[in-house]
Structure 1
Amino acid sequence: MTAANNEYPKASNATLIGATITYVAGLFLLLSFAGPYWIESYSGMFSSFKHMGLWEYCFDRFRFPSYQYDKYFDGCHYIFGQELYVIREWLLPAWLMAVQTFVTLALMLSFMAQILLACVVVRMPLRTVLRYEWIFVSISFVMVAISSVFLFLAVAIFGGNCYRRDWLLYPSFNVLSWSYAFAVIAFILFGLAAVLLFLESRKLYELRLEAKNLVAQMQHSQPEHALHQLRDQLHQQQQLGYFRN
């Protein structure tokens, strides 16, 4: 088996499909993570709230009723920026911080899983991947599965709380938007990829056990084979000696 002639086992179709789905899901997750359209107001309602994402809010001359000064919040601003500092406690409730945490962790885990799967697919480093492929795929499966669970929690928490009346004003004017939809798609794709990677990791582990058993049987049978050869040689020598006498 030589690397120069590409005479080494390639990644299986299940691994390739699982890796491809993971990459596509990671793209959807990245767009959802950065997109400022988790929820938006209907265009015909002329609401002062326009849209928001995990890290950004957009207003059109919005006045917060509980703020003691007559101040308008206008334009799009980073949630942790100075402009929204005075109303950040209202804009960032505990449940939304939980959503941010789950989506961030899912993004980090999926990115690490994509690196491991890329190593398995391109076979680099070759010896390490061929020796520990089942470990690479198993770790990728765990990361992708956890990412799917985190995204499920994120979309469930956000979908269950985004119409609360103690958060954005006039929640009936708002609707879930494409960034939220991308998070849902990513959650489904990660779940599908996790199933494929789990099946492939189990298959690779079984093949590894079979290879170990085969090597053990060969090592165990070698002394007996050598003993049989020695007996045959002694028997031949005895026959030669008998004919000479």
Structure 2
Amino acid sequence: MGASNRSTRVALGISTVSFLLFVIAFATPYWLVTDGRLENPRFTNLGLWEVCFNHFQDIHRFYDTDFTGCMWVFEEEYYIIHDFLLPGFYIAVQLFATLCFVMCLLALPLTLSFLRTSRDDDRYVVLLLTIGTCQVLASIFGFIAVVIFGAKGDSRDWMPGWQHNDMGWSFALAVVGGVMLLPAGILYLVEARRERYKRLNEISNREISEYGDDYYQSQAAAAISAAPPSAPAQPSYFAPEPSRPRRPQPGARLPTAPAQGSIQTDI
């Protein structure tokens, strides 16, 4: 199993929760809502792809069409108010939110493949790097989307009754989900870096253990074979050193050698 340590399990849990939160925010039409203080608000709620009106008419009064109910923002009936309904910042929010959603979708099958991959597999590090990169990019795109919408969504230049328009729970879920994708991606990248250095250390230690002793032994054999037969034997590099004589204790008498030509007796 891929998520075999604590960091990968934490990253998997955070990414799963953040992905679900952002998907809910991406699909629900409650990014901007009215606070309910108006008796008959012309605008009720709006999401990335759906808007709900209540007897709303063209603000320029070019058309007498009355819009009531919830419809897709790109509905053909809304073409007469596209200049009002689809400002530039709203299109930018849709673009960056879609990029975030696409990055999350790309990371989903990679995560499923990662869960079935062993740590010893060569694809393990590649999957960690790819998933982490996708989630970091998704977090950046989602953060840009919520920042733009938070700055422009409830402005007086857009939806009617701007004094009574507030950010809805869908926007809150998008903020939490987009922000939580960043630590999840960073954890994946950190784990990939750690696993890569671990494998490099294992490879270097294995090479030293396999080829280190053979190299020294071959060098010693080559030196012995190159030496002439009459040359004295060279001491081995690994030969034990001769034992040194012990230093006499203080006050002890040193044995004296008998003088040459004298007779040594035991008396």
Does the 8 A contact of 1:11 with 1:120 survive in 2?
no
1:114-129 matched pairs, under 5 angstroms: 114-123=108-117
**Alpha-carbon deviation of 1:137?**
0.6
CA distance in structure 1 between the partners assigned to 2:68 and 2:150 by the alignment: 26
Larger radius of gyration: 2
- The equivalent residue for 2:173 is 182
Which residue identity does 2:130 align to in structure 1? I
SS at match of 2:77: coil
- The equivalent residue for 1:57 is 51
Pairwise CA RMSD of aligned residues? 2.4
**Alpha-carbon deviation of 1:164?**
2.1
Which residue identity does 2:4 align to in structure 1? A
Which residue identity does 2:58 align to in structure 1? F
**Alpha-carbon deviation of 1:156?**
0.6
| Correspondence for 2:208 among 188, 209, 217 | 217
| TM-score (normalised: structure 1) | 0.82
| Correspondence for 1:112 among 103, 106, 111 | 106
| Correspondence for 2:30 among 31, 37, 41 | 37
**Alpha-carbon deviation of 1:230?**
8.1
Find runs of 4+ consecutive structure 1 residues off by over 6 angstroms.
228-231
User: Does 2:158 align with 1:164?
Assistant: no
Which residue identity does 1:178 align to in structure 2? W
Does the 8 A contact of 2:3 with 2:9 survive in 1?
no
Which residue identity does 2:96 align to in structure 1? F
SS at match of 1:102: helix
Does the 8 A contact of 1:41 with 1:49 survive in 2?
yes
| Correspondence for 1:194 among 174, 182, 185 | 185
SS at match of 2:121: helix
The alpha-carbon distance between structure 1 residues 200 and 62, as it changes in their structure 2 partners (threshold 3 A), is same
Q: How many residues align?
A: 222
**Alpha-carbon deviation of 1:100?**
0.7
Q: Which has the higher helix share?
A: 1
The gaps in structure 1 that reach 5 residues or longer are 1-7, 235-245
**Alpha-carbon deviation of 1:10?**
6.0
SS at match of 2:22: helix
**Alpha-carbon deviation of 1:228?**
9.0
SS at match of 2:136: helix
CA distance in structure 2 between the partners assigned to 1:219 and 1:48 by the alignment: 79
CA distance in structure 1 between the partners assigned to 2:108 and 2:8 by the alignment: 12
- The equivalent residue for 2:8 is 15
Does the 8 A contact of 1:141 with 1:198 survive in 2?
yes
- The equivalent residue for 2:255 is none
- The equivalent residue for 2:254 is none
The gaps in structure 2 that reach 5 residues or longer are 226-267
| Correspondence for 1:152 among 143, 147, 167 | 143
Does the 8 A contact of 1:77 with 1:83 survive in 2?
no
CA distance in structure 2 between the partners assigned to 1:36 and 1:106 by the alignment: 17
SS at match of 1:175: strand
CA distance in structure 2 between the partners assigned to 1:60 and 1:18 by the alignment: 44
Does the 8 A contact of 1:18 with 1:194 survive in 2?
yes
CA distance in structure 1 between the partners assigned to 2:111 and 2:202 by the alignment: 23
The alpha-carbon distance between structure 1 residues 222 and 117, as it changes in their structure 2 partners (threshold 3 A), is farther
Which residue identity does 1:66 align to in structure 2? H
**Alpha-carbon deviation of 1:37?**
0.4
CA distance in structure 2 between the partners assigned to 1:80 and 1:226 by the alignment: 79
**Higher deviation after alignment, 162-171 or 90-99:** 162-171
SS at match of 1:43: coil
